[in-house]
Amino acid sequence: MMMTILKYRSLIAALPLGAVLTVTATSWADNPIVQTNYTADPAPMVVGDTVYLCTSHDEDVTLDNFFTMNDWRVYSSKDMVNWTDHGSPLSYHSFSWASGKAWAPHCVERDGKFYFYVPVSDSIGVAVADSPIGPFEDAIGEPLVSNYQYIDPSVFIDDDGQAYLYFGNPRLWHVALNDDMISFTGQVEQIENTTQSFGQRSGDADRPTLYEEGPWFYERNDQYYMIFAMGPLPERIGYATSSAPLGPWTYRGVIMENQSGHAFTNHAGVVDFKGKSYFFYHTQELPGGGGYKRSVAVEEFSYGADGSIPTISKTAEGVSESAEPLNPFVRVEAETIAWEQGIETEPCSEGGMNVTEISDGDTIKVEAVEFGAGADSFSYRVAAASGGGAIELYLDGEDGDPVATCAVESSGGADTWVTQQCAVNITGAHDLLLRFTGGGFDFDWWQFAGPGEPTTDGAGGATGTGSTTTTTTTTGSDGGGGASTSTDTGATASTGNPQTSGSNTGSVGTTGGATVGGATAASATTGAATSAASTGGSGAATSGGPGDATVTGGDPSSSGKGSSDDGGCACAVAGPSSSPGGLGLLSLMLLGTTRRRSRAGRS
């Protein structure tokens, strides 16, 4: 890795302050798309109607003035504007032979299995899982390939079934993977590093072309693309194309320049999704950001008629048009976020993730929510040691009064989850802001009910608002679809759910009170709903308690989140990464930027 380290050291003297340390004021823009973590090296993967985004993760505390990266993260979106946090399904600790450097990943599906290729400890490893959100395990117990230049894997499976693994800094290497995706035939080979293929660089005899690192390899309309980070530092993104998977490659130009707000590295991932094309990259634009605290962003773009990729500028707005409306009548994970201010996410004791560290005034924005003919109740699953907080709902901005103020009552303990409910009156399509007052509680998911509930896709019937609207603590898994051992001692009669089935003999315990845009909001509170046990509740197509309602739009794991999405979050700070040796100018610049709560909205 010495060449890489030297490369980054050379930047320290080269960059002006503004190019390294950028602090952006909080806004409601959509870029960077993740605000709860510093993320880098985006690797998007389309699976059905969802794009999964695998990223590397810059730790909040930078050690030895170098990349401090211990695990990888996964996010998902069905609409390209709201991103659900699935936590960390893989860390370098998952590889018994590795000791750190959890750098740029790539994830890919083959035959229902998911493969996570990662540079770690001067090698490339491969992990496998049954779900795109893991948990992933080391597939072979040893490196797939080893060399200090072998970083930044990119895998593409061609139409004929042949899988290719490209990687490398400062040369581009490849190997043909076998069908099992965890072994290969033949040798690692280097792609000829010609200026015809990768453009001309001058002044560095060891790096005669613009190719630096971060290949992103794919095929589209019979043309093969090799997108790559271009040197010298600070990096830009460029691309080459070929009519064959192994070249020869023809350099096609710059896609993204290095602008103010970019890091000294950049790293691209490109997908087509729901009829549009998207370009992922990273910047350093979260508050507290820097060269080792980067943030993934995305832009929509269109290919030219000849397959060319236009020049793309980074924007604060990011994707302006959602790929599809968000359905609020199914369970929506609280960690589904277009933009947040102040909150954090963590593995949830019920499975999956939840929102935590909620303080007074913290906010989550969810974009393009389609309430249709209307929602008349809002259910929210919270854990609150004491009551007194609230979730205020705003539409399309924070101006004016909230359309609902939903009290958060004590759930009986900080790790005791209950579903509470309040009345609302919302119709049409809106950006939804959930603004927290009081704080001091955790938040797992939310769901609306009402006449606007779609009936065509079956989501409503499976979700069962009646069964989810209980105030009783359960031990059921979160989204496990019937795996619960919980017992409901109360259930709410579903309001306007046209797909109800099963009997519901419970009733809402109402403690009355909050005013909702002129209407009266009734909140179910802990212990209040004590009438007869629900036997499935309204629309409870799957058995199980409130934590078990099978949902669309929730966790994609077929085996349920409880076992799949805790992610292990092995967030232990590892020992020092490879040190570039000594503190340079860059470290001095960064000294003031490593505060834990220094990201969006944090002060």
CB of 130 to ligand FUB, least distance (A): 27
Among 267, 293, 314, 381, binds ligand FUB (CB under 6 A): 267
Which residue, 251 or 292, is less far from ligand FUB as judged by CB?
292
Binding to ligand FUB (CB under 6 A) within 412-441 occurs at none
The whole-angstrom separation of Cα 254 and Cα 256 is: 6
Using the rule CB under 6 A, is 56 a contact of ligand FUB? yes
Which residue, 175 or 348, is less far from ligand FUB as judged by CB?
175
Given CA atoms 448, 333, 318, 79 in this order, what sign does their dihedral have? Answer: negative
Q: What number of chain residues touch ligand FUB (CB under 6 A)?
A: 13
Using the rule CB under 6 A, is 152 a contact of ligand FUB? yes
Residue in the structure block whose two tokens are 């948990």: 135
Whether the upstream peptide bond of residue 135 has omega within 30° of 0, thus cis, is yes
Using the rule CB under 6 A, is 213 a contact of ligand FUB? yes
E-strand ranges in 78-112 read 83-85, 90-91, 106-110
Question: In degrees, to the nearest 5, what angle opens at C-alpha 75 toward C-alphas 72 and 81?
Answer: 145
Contact 52, 77 (CB under 8 A): no
Read off the DSSP letter of residue 587. H
The whole-angstrom separation of Cα 259 and Cα 242 is: 28
Contact 546, 488 (CB under 8 A): yes
Using the rule CB under 6 A, is 369 a contact of ligand FUB? no
Which residue, 107 or 424, is less far from ligand FUB as judged by CB?
107
The whole-angstrom separation of Cα 59 and Cα 55 is: 12
The whole-angstrom separation of Cα 500 and Cα 466 is: 8
Using the rule CB under 6 A, is 122 a contact of ligand FUB? no
Phi, psi of 390 (to 5 degrees): -155, 160
Using the rule CB under 6 A, is 380 a contact of ligand FUB? no
Among 265, 473, 474, 500, binds ligand FUB (CB under 6 A): 265
- What x-and-dash track marks residues 501-540 binding ligand FUB by CB under 6 A? ----------------------------------------
Which residue, 564 or 593, is less far from ligand FUB as judged by CB?
593
List b or e across 20-48, with b for residues whose CB sees 16 or more CB atoms inside 10 angstroms: bbbebebeebbbbbbbbbbbbbbbbbeee
Using the rule CB under 6 A, is 258 a contact of ligand FUB? no
Active site (annotated) includes residue 41: yes
DSSP character string of 275-304: TEEEEEEEE--STT-BTTB-EEEEEEE---
CB of 347 to ligand FUB, least distance (A): 24
Among 80, 151, 343, 383, binds ligand FUB (CB under 6 A): 151
CB of 152 to ligand FUB, least distance (A): 5
Catalytic residue (one of 122, 212, 213, 555): 212
Q: CB-based contacts of 192: which residues, under 8 Å, 6+ apart?
A: 247, 248
Whether the upstream peptide bond of residue 119 has omega within 30° of 0, thus cis, is no
Using the rule CB under 6 A, is 62 a contact of ligand FUB? no
**Amino acid making up residue 110:** R
Among 38, 52, 66, 67, binds ligand FUB (CB under 6 A): 67
Among 214, 450, 464, 580, binds ligand FUB (CB under 6 A): 214
Catalytic residue positions, numbered: 41, 212
- List of residues contacting ligand FUB (CB under 6 A): 40-41, 56, 67, 103-104, 151-152, 213-214, 229, 265, 267
